[in-house]
Amino acid sequence: MAKIPTSASRDAVRDVAPKLIDLTEKVIYGDVWERPELPKRDRSLITVAALMAMGREEQMRGHMGRALDNGVTPAELIEAITHLAFYSGWPTAMTAARVAKEVFEARGVAPGD
């Protein structure tokens, strides 16, 4: 089984919803993310795009970091946000851009990297 990434958000609710966390770690990260038919880099970009389109700001933050870890560049994340502005709406893009800025600053990377 793959190494499951740590998550403060999962740990925060582990005692309240242990089965939800178990399914998250075993099914989502232990199976779905490990399927070889799609690289993790692509899965990350798709996940960030879906979270942006749905306005899931809190989850977007962690998945943007995961996307960077999986080889998506900051420039690619910004381009995806810009592209999706015309499909998911300007407010979702502005929120995603702010989240991206926070993630980039926390990691010490520039948007053009």
16-25 pLDDT, tens digit each: 999 999 998 9
Q: Which residues contact 104 (CB under 8 A, 6 or more apart)?
A: 74, 110, 111
pTM: predicted TM-score of the whole model, two decimal places: 0.87
In the structure encoding, which two tokens stand for residue 39, read together? 């690289």
Tokens 């990434």 label which residue?
A: 5
Percent of the chain with pLDDT over 70: 95
∠ CA 72-58-31, nearest 5°, is 60
Write down the domain spans for the chain. 8-37, 39-113
- Alpha carbon distance 105, 107 (integer Å): 5
CA angle at 70 for the pair 85 and 54, rounded to the nearest 5°: 30
Domain 39-113 has CATH 3.40.605.10: no
